[in-house]
């Protein structure tokens, strides 16, 4: 008879199943947002247009779009298949996590605790289902961190080549990845022999050369137009926003009724109780989770345009969780059990948060509701959106119907038998971005149109339909959808 599984093995299988299950849970409940739509549209293009579009965007390297194009070529554009891309990148992170724990002698129990924490962590959960490069960045960052640990253990040519390969993957994933490469070089100067730092620098030269064509072209684009077009909405971070990153990292950002000082207590307890400061091998992971946020904060104060963003720092969550779990497991037993009990309560709340998560507006539902409410015979129906970004997702879902790329709408269309009618109706609509509603109903626009706005960007005492009604227009029934942050309202208008 086969031997029974050991309890520790069963615990490992359980936390891995929890990790995977949480990322599959509600995977098709959320519509694609504007950034995700941009990823899909670039991946739909031919190879020439993909690279041209990525270069014009310039603020992200092209690896995500290349891999996503291949991914769509394999499995199509269903929402489930698209969402599986970041989910799989997130799950693949477990391989370097297991390797790092083995190399750093982090116990199996501590490793399982870290996996359980990240499995339900709101910060990690959100981006594990987000069709952008951030989970890919987390995977690349972990691979680089693991190979760097191996290089610290044995400074061989093989380990250096593998590390450089991981760093090339890292650099082409997201520009923040170069922060990890810089920290690796600084760490070698600080803690290792000078010849190892020199060898690392020499091995990084081919990485830089291979990255240089992209850097040159993207730099040329950004030099001509600046960063404001893409990043102008990002303000310079305050110390309060830096503090909020640590709140996010410790898993309390979504719990609005918990004071941010709780996160500070968690960090202080962690730093006071950790017993492995004297081990050089642990210093690297300590540096990796502590240093990137202050560096990004300082650079954002210095650059003409801020580059601050929590999502770009997603790669620090695993180094933090691993060392936090290791610290908890090395505490006195009663203290360790108390902390794990508190973490268990937090985990239940975090999982409950995901069960009711509403951080993405249902653009697909909103678009279909608009089509269902449209009963006129107007051949062309403009949708005037008084918001810089509102027209983009609405037009995308209209185009999905008119072009037959209905995969992203799949879950919403599976129970409907009027898809052909929806396609015809969608072809009559056109979303138009506008800065003002002053021209509406003044002879310069169609007499029949829809108007759309968000409560987060509209600050007048009267809504757009109320203003238009004062000019003699007639408003139809409103359609409204909301997420945790704002509401979007669409209203049909008829003006004489």
Could you read off the pLDDT of 382-407 as tens digits, one per residue? 999 988 889 999 999 999 999 999 99
**Cα–Cα distance for residue pair 446/291, rounded to 1 Å:** 55
> What band does 277 get if pLDDT is binned at 50, 70 and 90?
low
- State mean pLDDT over 177-198: 94
The answer, yes or no, to whether residue 156 has pLDDT greater than 80, is yes
- The pLDDT value recorded for residue 441 is 47
Out of 87-101, 257-271, 417-431, which region has the weakest mean confidence (pLDDT)? 257-271
- State mean pLDDT over 363-389: 93
Residue positions counted in the chain? 496
The pLDDT > 70 percentage for the chain reads 94
Output helix, strand, coil percentages for the chain, rounded to the nearest 5. Answer: 65, 5, 30
Between helix 94-104 and helix 108-120 the angle, nearest 10°, is 150
Residue with tokens 């008829």: 494
The answer, yes or no, to whether residue 361 has pLDDT greater than 90, is yes
pTM: 0.93
Contact 394, 366 (CB under 8 A): yes
- State mean pLDDT over 148-168: 96
Q: Which long-range contacts (CB under 8 A, 24 or more apart) does 292-296 make?
A: 292/176, 292/179, 292/180, 292/183, 292/316, 293/242, 293/245, 293/246, 294/242, 295/179, 296/176, 296/179
- The pLDDT value recorded for residue 172 is 97
Q: Give me 120's structure tokens.
A: 């339900």
Contacts of 117 (CB under 8 A, 6+ apart): 251, 321, 324, 325, 343, 347
The answer, yes or no, to whether residue 65 has pLDDT greater than 70, is yes
- The pLDDT value recorded for residue 143 is 97
The answer, yes or no, to whether residue 1 has pLDDT greater than 50, is no
> What band does 257 get if pLDDT is binned at 50, 70 and 90?
low
- Ordered by start, the domain boundaries in the chain are 7-355, 363-494
**For 293-332, how does the pLDDT look when each residue is reduced to its tens digit (9 = 90+)?**
999 999 999 988 899 988 999 999 999 999 989 888 888 8
**For 440-487, how does the pLDDT look when each residue is reduced to its tens digit (9 = 90+)?**
645 455 789 999 999 988 888 999 999 999 988 999 999 999 998 899
- State mean pLDDT over 326-350: 88
Give the DSSP per-residue string, 61-121. -SHHHHHHHHHHHHH-S-HHHHHHHHHHHHHHTHHHHHHHHHHHT--HHHHHHHHHHHHH-
**For 9-29, how does the pLDDT look when each residue is reduced to its tens digit (9 = 90+)?**
899 999 999 999 999 999 999
């Amino acid at each position: 008879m086969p031997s029974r599984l050991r309890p520790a093995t069963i615990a490992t299988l359980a936390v891995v199943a929890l990790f995977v299950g949480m990322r599959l849970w509600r995977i098709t409940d959320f519509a694609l947002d504007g950034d995700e739509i941009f990823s899909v549209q670039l991946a739909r293009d031919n190879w020439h247009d993909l690279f041209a579009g990525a270069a014009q965007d310039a603020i992200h390297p092209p690896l995500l779009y290349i891999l996503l194009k291949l991914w769509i070529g394999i499995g199509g554009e269903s929402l489930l298949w698209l969402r599986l891309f970041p989910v799989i990148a997130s799950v693949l992170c477990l391989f370097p996590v297991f390797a790092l724990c083995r190399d750093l002698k982090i116990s199996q129990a501590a490793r399982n605790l870290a996996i359980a924490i990240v499995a339900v962590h709101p910060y990690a959960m959100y981006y594990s289902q987000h069709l952008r490069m951030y989970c890919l960045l987390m995977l690349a960052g972990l691979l680089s961190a693991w190979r760097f640990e191996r290089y610290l253990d044995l400074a061989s040519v093989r380990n250096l080549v593998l590390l450089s390969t991981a760093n090339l993957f890292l650099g082409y994933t997201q520009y923040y990845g170069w922060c990890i490469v810089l920290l690796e070089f600084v760490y070698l100067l600080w803690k290792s022999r000078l010849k190892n730092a020199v060898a690392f620098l020499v091995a990084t030269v081919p990485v830089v050369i291979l990255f240089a064509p992209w850097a040159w072209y993207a730099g040329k684009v950004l030099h001509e137009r600046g960063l404001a077009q893409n990043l102008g909405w990002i303000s310079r971070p305050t110390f309060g926003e830096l503090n909020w990153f640590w709140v996010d990292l410790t898993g309390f950002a979504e719990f609005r009724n918990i004071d941010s000082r709780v996160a500070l207590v968690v960090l202080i307890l962690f730093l006071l109780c950790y017993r492995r400061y004297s081990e050089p091998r642990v210093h690297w992971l300590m540096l990796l989770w502590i240093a990137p946020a202050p560096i990004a904060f300082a650079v954002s104060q210095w650059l003409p345009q801020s580059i601050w963003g929590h999502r770009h720092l997603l790669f620090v969550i695993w180094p933090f969780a691993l060392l936090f779990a290791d610290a908890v497991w090395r505490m006195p037993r009663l203290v360790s059990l108390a902390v794990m009990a508190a973490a268990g309560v937090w985990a239940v709340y975090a999982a409950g948060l995901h069960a009711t998560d509403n951080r993405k507006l249902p653009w697909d539902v909103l678009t279909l509701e608009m089509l269902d409410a449209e009963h006129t015979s107007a051949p062309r129906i403009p949708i005037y959106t008084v918001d810089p970004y509102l027209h983009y997702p609405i037009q995308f879902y209209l185009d999905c119907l008119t072009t037959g790329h209905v995969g992203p709408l799949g879950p919403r269309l599976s129970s409907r038998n009027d898809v052909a009618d929806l396609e015809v109706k969608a072809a009559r609509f056109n979303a138009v971005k506008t800065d003002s509603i002053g021209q509406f109903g003044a002879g310069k626009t169609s007499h029949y149109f829809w108007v759309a706005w968000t409560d987060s960007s509209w600050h007048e005492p009267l809504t757009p339909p109320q203003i238009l009604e004062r000019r003699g227009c007639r408003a139809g029934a409103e359609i409204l959808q909301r997420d945790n942050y704002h509401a979007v309202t669409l209203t049909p208008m008829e003006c004489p």
